[in-house]
Amino acid sequence: MATEENRTAGSDRSLLLKHKEKHFTAGEIIRDVIIGVSDGLTVPFALAAGLSGANASSSVILTAGIAEIAAGAISMGLGGYLAAKSEADHYMRELRREEEEITNVPDTEAAEIAEMLAEYGIESHEYAPVVNALRRKPKAWLDFMMKFELGLEKPDPKRAFQSAFTIAIAYTVGGLVPLSPYMFITYVQNAVITSVVVTLVALLIFGCAKGYFTGNRPLRSAIQTAFIGALASAVAFGMAKAVQNV
């Protein structure tokens, strides 16, 4: 019997070594990049279009755009930091609460494990050894409850700063795209046309990449992203013209 079990275990290990799953594991970083670049491309683009509609000079548009990028990058980065920090704080609160429950009402917690396992069709005589094993290992018990009862994964302690930095840099990079024509073209009409073309191309490429990484249709994502950016700039341009006429 022992020989058969060892043979089975060896076969399982061999299969695991041969099978390499290709899962995408940088989801949080990609999410931050998407948030930063998406807003970075859209907001300065709309601002530049609006100021162009108000007949501002290229230097004024560029100055206002850079100021907006600086403020936006700080604001977006701070928002990412606070969101990640709140997530970490929530995890620690739940962790302390779960620790108290395991210490004060272990039988109730063990019953919750049995109930969770029963939901997967595991019989009592099958999950009893699991429950007993977890009760002998408080750390494993706590990790099990946090993951399977509450659905919470331990956050990376560097996550808050990483999120803030990633979003801020992505916003800055995205924001410089619609402003770049104003750095080299002094005539506003030519600059705004160039900005529209460059930014729409960037939005299409970004939307396609976003669709690829998020599992959506790249072409559909590209069109939606470009449409939103174009709509925002058109509204800003139209409002600036209307206010100027009034």
Segments forming the whole domain that contains residue 166: 28-240
First-to-final CA distance of the chain: 91
Residue 39 lies in a domain: yes
Residue 192 lies in a domain: yes
> pLDDT, tens digit, for every residue of 130-170?
667 777 777 777 777 777 777 777 777 788 898 899 999 99
> pLDDT, tens digit, for every residue of 157-216?
788 898 899 999 999 999 999 899 988 888 888 888 898 889 888 888 888 887 787 777
Greatest mean pLDDT among 1-10, 16-25, 51-60, 128-137: 51-60
Q: Is residue 1 classed exposed, middle or buried when 0-12, 13-18 and 19+ CB atoms within 10 A define those classes? A: exposed
Residue 172 lies in a domain: yes
Residue 13 lies in a domain: no
Looking at residue 149, the DSSP 8-state letter turns out to be: I
> pLDDT, tens digit, for every residue of 44-101?
888 888 888 777 888 888 899 899 999 999 999 999 899 888 888 888 888 888 777 7
Residue 144 lies in a domain: yes
Residue 136 lies in a domain: yes
Give CA 201 to chain center in angstroms. Answer: 23
Instruction: State how many domains the chain has.
Output: 1
Q: What is the pLDDT of residue 5?
A: 46
Residue 223 lies in a domain: yes
Residue 22 lies in a domain: no
